[in-house]
Structure 1
Amino acid sequence: MSEAELHVLKQRLLAGKRAKATRGELGMQVPIGYVRRPSGEVIKDPDEQAQTVIGLIFDQFERCGTLNGMLQYLVRHQIQLPCRVRTGVNRGELEWHAPNRVTLSNLLHNPLYAGAYAYGRRPTDIRRKQPGRPATGRRVAPREQWAVLLKDHLPAYISWEQYERHLRQLEANGIKAQGAIRHGPSLLSGLLVCGRCGHRMMTRYNSSGTGLRYACDTMAASYGQALCQSLAGQALDDFITEQVLAALQPAALEISLQALEDLESEREPLHRHWQQRLERAHYQAERAYRQFNAVEPENRLVARTLEQQWESALTVEGELQAEYARFAAEQPATLSAAEREAIRRLACDIPALWHAPTTMAADRQAIIRQLVTRVVVTVQGESERVDVQVHWIGGHDTQATLTRPVARLDQLSYYPQLMARVAELHAQGENAAAIARRLNAEDWRPAKRCDTFNAPMVLTLLLRQGLRSRQSAYAGMIEEAQEELTLNELARRLNVPQPTLYSWLRRGLLHGRQVIHADHPLWLIQADEAELARLSALRASAKS
């Protein structure tokens, strides 16, 4: 009977607890930015600076959209979080702690900041509970499984719509969604979808971090299949940039006005926060001064301690004033006339603003994500042609076909027609150089990163068709001149890999000429002593 009575009493207590929670009256630990009165009522922290900081956190997340970006913003501006001491002799006093990722994440996920009373967000799973450890076994329940959710029940810092928007943004930052804005020059990280398998395409860079490539390797990594498709990213990024700038151009005036408003609205809470910090520091200094004056002069032990506290408070106040002066000089509360005119001028020339050195790749990514939901790409076979479908926010789609660089001539979609045209020109008695000029004039394009055909390329095509013998093709080839080195010889002289030399050729850091030798095009580099010294210095700077 005793066991049964204890069980009944426990069930009655739990039922009473649930009933109290259903009414929104069950007292729970309140998060930062809130305090509980002795009557049990939950109110915002009466400290004005504490309220300002909480509001600033939510405003900044609206702007940057990531936990990491918000954390870096708080650290950069030396903004600390208000925390009330919960136990001990200092219970109830306000302290300021450094921000951290976990606290900020809990703040964004807590519905209390939207004025909602929630109970059962983290129920206990008895299968995971460890004996003797009351805090174990808890799990995060989805919203539909919360026991109680009472909206507009408590004072709020944000609206319920803002709270849900923040949760959607955090979910979108996850790996399975678009993900957060990445570092690097890519504009489409997280937005690019493979048109063949439907998986998200990955972004890859070369060792220098500049060569961009998009690849779909999900099937290869998960199932050992062949790589689905890949393409160089610059042409695709350029196309998306062109489309986005065209979409933004009609809104240039509105963008300039919004930029002015956003800059001043972003600076205003920072200046208010600084003023509150200065006011608090001044109060602490005045309080220390009053305490020092209130002590009896004969009580030297206490007087010396209070004097040190007063001097310390004055030092803190002086340092804050100096820091605020530097901040105000860098970011005035209001924009000057010159700054306003510069913003209007740049907003009216959106392409110049887009390509300006001060515009970071992350800024461009953020703009694209405001306009584009996803980009679907499909490479036509192994050819240079890529079908692109841009899905805009609002439901509109844009379709186009781009040209990507390919590794071999036989990958070109017009390779058969190209071979036929080369054979036709050869039959007319044209030599290799003349055929190359005709192909360029007729807008034929080779593979890889070359824009025009040259004589060695044409000779290779003629050899493939058997239209020239090797002896006749190589007859009259230019001999190696004095102080000319092949790439192989130059690589040995400089102790540099040949792919690096090819990269220098493409980037214009190395100059040479191409001839045909032993069935292959051959690069000859003019390399006297001065040129070798320059290339050695270039190699050393690249290593450093």
Structure 2
Amino acid sequence: MREHLDSQLTQRALVGRAQSLGWHPERIDVLDGDLGQSAAGAQTRDDFKALAAEVALGHVGIVFGWQVSRLARNNAEWYQLLDLAALFGTLIGDTDGVYDPRLYNDRLLLGLKGTMSEAELYMMRQRLNAGRLSKVQRGEYVQRLPTGFVRLPDTRVVQDPDPQIRHVIALVLAKFEELGSCSRVLRYCKHHDIRLPRRQVSGPPPGEILWRLPSEAAIGSMLTNPAYAGAFVHGRRTSDPTRHHPDRRTPAMVRRPRAEWQCIIHDAYPAYISWKQYLANQARLHDNAQRYTEHGGLGQGAPRDGAALLQGLATCGLCGHRMRVSYRPHVHYVCDGLYRTVAEPACARLDGASIEAFVIQAFFNAIAPAQLETLDEVLAQRQRERHRLETYHQQQVSQARYDATVARHRYEQVDPAYRLVAAELEREWENTLRALRQAQEAAERFAQEPDAPTLTAEQRRQLLNLSQTLPELWHREGLRHAQR
């Protein structure tokens, strides 16, 4: 539209035709504000709305168009314009002739042109969709990649060459597997001053990596994106015409369940986690959601604060609903899932103390065979955790030092006569130096933390005999349910 102007010139030449039919130049208005806009709807076409309003006011004698049926690509708006033109005596003209919508034959011909125009748009959309789906099925469809992947010139996809980006993404995915919830991973990142990478897709620096403060939305986006499991997926989000907003050009996009995804191709990308782990993460997120209104409180829950040990975790063995806690006169676990959903009697009301005592003893029995292995795994996990954090801080310092060096070189190369440019570059250099100092301080604070807990001989003996000593530790005064 911007480079090939022949179509615009041809359409504006219709002014001469209107003059040849007797209209004075001062009485001719050209409405070209909708150029480049789809005629499938009038929501974003202000000139079409203005034309319909002028026709309804009886201010228009004739409407010219190169192909008048393209004034509207749907029959609803096209016939509305024809009804207004017939009511107020407005003529319709195109390259083939001049039509009077009040006459039966002319109205029939205009209606046929509108129907063919709408069908043409439908066929065009069908062909485009068929071509796109064909590329999707072959795995050749190019879609936007999440942060952590890079597309090479030959269209192959590899993990980002920046080890810092790969390390942080792997760290977030590993911590969710360990901690089990987005909020806990978020608090972990906040506690250790971990920032998350984000590749800009719009704005002044498109394609640049920005390091942002962690958020639950950013962590959830990583966990729910199947690309990190190496899968190419098409159809995760599709448009929903029922949610169309008048101010939006396209319908709202909604997430579809995995059963409705149009295409899944495994091992299309180099994976950060396995597909099995991805499915386990989705199941854990689903259980953590606690969507009582949508799912009736079914499924495994998440621990909640309260005076009861199993609050948020206890599930009814009869109906599968999560049980709530009643504190009067003492702790009880009550299942009223059927009462809330289908008005049936409550399933159970169980004494809290006896249920908790049974669960605690079952837990002690379950860990009895794993004594020495438990100690080794705990210590190894602490070492792996510290190594990941140490690597992260080292990479942060290296990146900040590189950014400061680049900013210094840019400032030293600028002509001092350009004071405004020099001042801006000096400000950028100061910002990078400030970021470098903050990264170094964070690394120093981490280095000052104890490397590993110091275990006395008595503590090591207790850990090696965990099944015997844990009950004593469990019932120690001052220990909260969250710690248990």
Match of 1:187 in 2: 309
Structure-to-structure mapping, 1:211-360, within 5 angstroms: 212-218=331-337, 221=340, 229-296=348-415, 302-332=421-451, 335=452, 338=455, 342=459, 345-348=462-465, 349-355=469-475
CA contact (8 A) 1:288 1:313 kept: yes
How many residues align structurally? 359
1:151 and 2:266 equivalent? yes
* Deviation, structure 1 residue 61: 0.4
* Deviation, structure 1 residue 320: 2.4
Match of 1:28 in 2: 143
1:77 and 2:192 equivalent? yes
**Closer, same or farther: CA 126–360 of 1 in aligned 2, 3 Å:** same
* Deviation, structure 1 residue 355: 4.3
1:145-166 Cα distance to aligned partner (Å, 9 max, x none) = 2211100011211111111111
**Closer, same or farther: CA 323–358 of 1 in aligned 2, 3 Å:** farther
Q: Which amino acid aligns with 2:357?
A: D
* Deviation, structure 1 residue 86: 1.4
Q: Following the alignment from structure 1 to structure 2, what is the Cα–Cα distance between the partners of residues 341 and 44? A: 47
Deviates more, 1:306-315 or 1:66-75: 306-315
Match of 2:283 in 1: 168
CA contact (8 A) 2:303 2:310 kept: no
CA contact (8 A) 1:267 1:331 kept: no
Structure-to-structure mapping, 1:117-136, within 5 angstroms: 117-130=232-245, 133-136=248-251
Structure 2: any 5+ residue segments left out of the alignment?
1-115, 291-297
Q: Which amino acid aligns with 2:440?
A: Q
Q: Which amino acid aligns with 1:143?
A: R
Deviates more, 1:171-180 or 1:113-122: 171-180
CA contact (8 A) 1:111 1:163 kept: yes
Q: Which amino acid aligns with 1:34?
A: F
Percent of aligned positions that are identical: 38
Q: Which amino acid aligns with 2:323?
A: M
**Closer, same or farther: CA 201–301 of 1 in aligned 2, 3 Å:** closer
Structure 1: any 5+ residue segments left out of the alignment?
365-544
Match of 1:66 in 2: 181
Match of 2:52 in 1: none
RMSD (Å), alpha carbons: 3.2
Match of 1:539 in 2: none
Structure-to-structure mapping, 1:414-429, within 5 angstroms: none
Q: Following the alignment from structure 1 to structure 2, what is the Cα–Cα distance between the partners of residues 30 and 20? A: 17
Q: SS where residue 365 of structure 2 aligns?
A: helix
Among residues 201, 210, 226, which one is paired with 1:86 in the alignment?
201
TM-score normalised per structure 1: 0.59
CA contact (8 A) 1:202 1:216 kept: yes
**Closer, same or farther: CA 161–340 of 1 in aligned 2, 3 Å:** farther
Q: Following the alignment from structure 2 to structure 1, what is the Cα–Cα distance between the partners of residues 321 and 431? A: 60
CA contact (8 A) 1:346 1:353 kept: no
* Deviation, structure 1 residue 50: 1.4
Q: SS where residue 17 of structure 1 aligns?
A: helix
Q: Following the alignment from structure 1 to structure 2, what is the Cα–Cα distance between the partners of residues 199 and 78? A: 39
Q: SS where residue 251 of structure 1 aligns?
A: coil
**Closer, same or farther: CA 159–198 of 1 in aligned 2, 3 Å:** closer
Q: Which amino acid aligns with 1:287?
A: V
**Closer, same or farther: CA 92–140 of 1 in aligned 2, 3 Å:** closer
Match of 2:218 in 1: 103
Structure-to-structure mapping, 1:434-449, within 5 angstroms: none
Q: Which amino acid aligns with 2:471?
A: P
Deviates more, 1:263-272 or 1:288-297: 288-297
Q: Following the alignment from structure 1 to structure 2, what is the Cα–Cα distance between the partners of residues 351 and 109? A: 39
TM-score normalised per structure 2: 0.65
Q: SS where residue 95 of structure 1 aligns?
A: strand
1:201 and 2:316 equivalent? no
* Deviation, structure 1 residue 287: 2.3
CA contact (8 A) 2:393 2:442 kept: no
1:45 and 2:160 equivalent? yes
Q: SS where residue 412 of structure 2 aligns?
A: helix
Q: SS where residue 138 of structure 1 aligns?
A: strand
1:397-425 Cα distance to aligned partner (Å, 9 max, x none) = xxxxxxxxxxxxxxxxxxxxxxxxxxxxx
Q: SS where residue 92 of structure 1 aligns?
A: coil
Q: Following the alignment from structure 2 to structure 1, what is the Cα–Cα distance between the partners of residues 347 and 120? A: 67
Deviates more, 1:163-172 or 1:192-201: 192-201
Q: Following the alignment from structure 1 to structure 2, what is the Cα–Cα distance between the partners of residues 206 and 285? A: 63
Match of 1:362 in 2: 482
Q: Which amino acid aligns with 1:179?
A: G
Q: Following the alignment from structure 1 to structure 2, what is the Cα–Cα distance between the partners of residues 262 and 48? A: 22
CA contact (8 A) 1:172 1:180 kept: yes
Q: Which amino acid aligns with 1:20?
A: K
CA contact (8 A) 1:130 1:137 kept: yes
Q: SS where residue 72 of structure 1 aligns?
A: helix
Q: Following the alignment from structure 2 to structure 1, what is the Cα–Cα distance between the partners of residues 252 and 415? A: 58
